[in-house]
Amino acid sequence: MQTNISIWEKDSFFAPQDIIIVGGGLMGLWSAITLKEKKHSLRITILEKNITPLGASTRNAGFACFGSPTELLHDAQTLGESTMLSITEKRFKGIEKITHYFPKHEIEYDPCGGYECITNAQFKPDTIHDSIAYLNQLLAPITGTKHTFIRNDAALSTLGLQHFDALIQNKMEAGLHSGKLVQALQMEAVSMGVQILSGIEVTNCLQQNNGVQLHTHQKIVFTAEKVLLCTNAFSNTIATGHTIPVKAGRGQIILTSPIQNLPLHGTFHFDAGFYYWRNLGNRILLGGARNKAFEEETTTSLTTSATIQTALEDFLKTHLHPSIHYTIEQRWSGIMGFTVNHLPYIHFIEPNILAAIACNGMGVALTPIIAEEVADRFIQ
């Protein structure tokens, strides 16, 4: 029996739930909304460790990611064409779903299109044409166009970029405001009757005969018929007795001062997605360089490091036209969850505990659709 909890609290905030979702990031929020849509009577509570969600969802770059050509080619090679297409289709549909749910202005959704910058050292110039043709043919049934990717090298200089040899453009990708998206999702979930309790850290989830008991750092014990773990890179600390195959990967970001007449507009990828940048109004947001120090960046520590910050600053100096003047005004990091095969991990780790984690750095567009899979598994 828990002590020092009033009957009022016990019967309301801490009452037994049909589903408790641990983790209030994009995965947890989209799942709560989708579950409610499937069955409105479900009593659902989200338990979030921090005051605001704190992992990847409010710390990312805000790309509604469709996928860059080199990433898709790599996925087709390593995972097979059909798996690559299935995950790309989820992202495509995820972007559509975001725009269906929220007015564009509310989440600062900008259908700016995406670009992949390429150097000859990375990609043999004479193979680009064939690779684009190959991808376009595969992707046409998903995107509804024969020209998902187009080569547009001439745009490099008009966008203020230098020291790249080729540019591939797609119209599918967009930019958005990650904080406003999470806020909008929270409001939507609450309006549907989902309870969100922040500042509650789950320390252990115990499968019982008829449900799950959740112990928390705050010494409050919750019970639910089913539990959904949306704790991404932080999952292994609460799934006692289970090893969840997710590895933390820190992502660091820098943001420039406002730049007068900034020519750059869109979302940009380089080096198989290890560098990514976009305009945020008239500033540039750049993230990545994790491949410069993989081991150091395999961490859940939300700090920044000199190695990565220097690599990011050097990247801007090299690739932005020298006529573009700026200072670095803000720096931050977030934590991603990765699996070995780069596919999300959606598995029952106990009969009543489902883990839905590891969007491998692409959760903005993926989580709305993975949430549907989660809801289907919970409500048959």
Ligand X SMILES: Cc1cc2nc3c(=O)[nH]c(=O)nc-3n(C[C@H](O)[C@H](O)[C@H](O)COP(=O)(O)OP(=O)(O)OC[C@H]3O[C@@H](n4cnc5c(N)ncnc54)[C@H](O)[C@@H]3O)c2cc1C
- Which positions touch ligand X (CB under 6 A)? 22-28, 47-50, 53-57, 59-63, 65, 201-202, 230-232, 234, 238, 251, 253, 287, 334-336, 357, 359, 361-365, 367
Bridge partners, 115 (sequence order): 169, 268
Q: CB 39 → ligand X: shortest distance, Å?
A: 22
Q: Which is nearer to ligand X, 164 or 338 (CB)?
A: 338
> Which spans in 233-305 are helix H?
none
Angstrom distances, CA of residue 188 to CA of 184, 185, 338, 361: 6, 5, 28, 24
In the complex, minimum distance from the CB of residue 311 to ligand X, in angstroms, rounded to a whole number: 14
Structure tokens at 279: 């305009």
Least gap, CB of 351 to ligand X (angstroms): 21
Asked if residues 224 and 216 have their Cβ atoms less than 8 Å apart, the reply is no
Min CB(185)–ligand X separation in Å: 10
Residue 128 vs 269, nearer CB to ligand X? 269
Report the residue number, 61 or 87, with the smaller CB distance to ligand X.
61
Q: Which is nearer to ligand X, 128 or 216 (CB)?
A: 216
Q: In this complex, which beta carbon is closest to ligand X, that of residue 59 or of residue 226?
A: 59
The minimum distance between CB 127 and ligand X, in angstroms, equals 27
CB 304 to ligand X: min, Å:
11
Name which of 53, 50, 20, 55 is nearest 337 in CA terms: 55
* CA dihedral sign of residues 148, 154, 158, 162: positive
Burial class (CB in 10 A: 0-12, 13-18, 19+), 73: middle
Beta strands in 238-327 (DSSP E): 247-256, 267-270, 275-280, 283-288
- When the beta carbons of 107 and 253 are compared against ligand X, the nearer one is 253
Q: Give me the residues paired with residue 269 across strands.
A: 116, 276
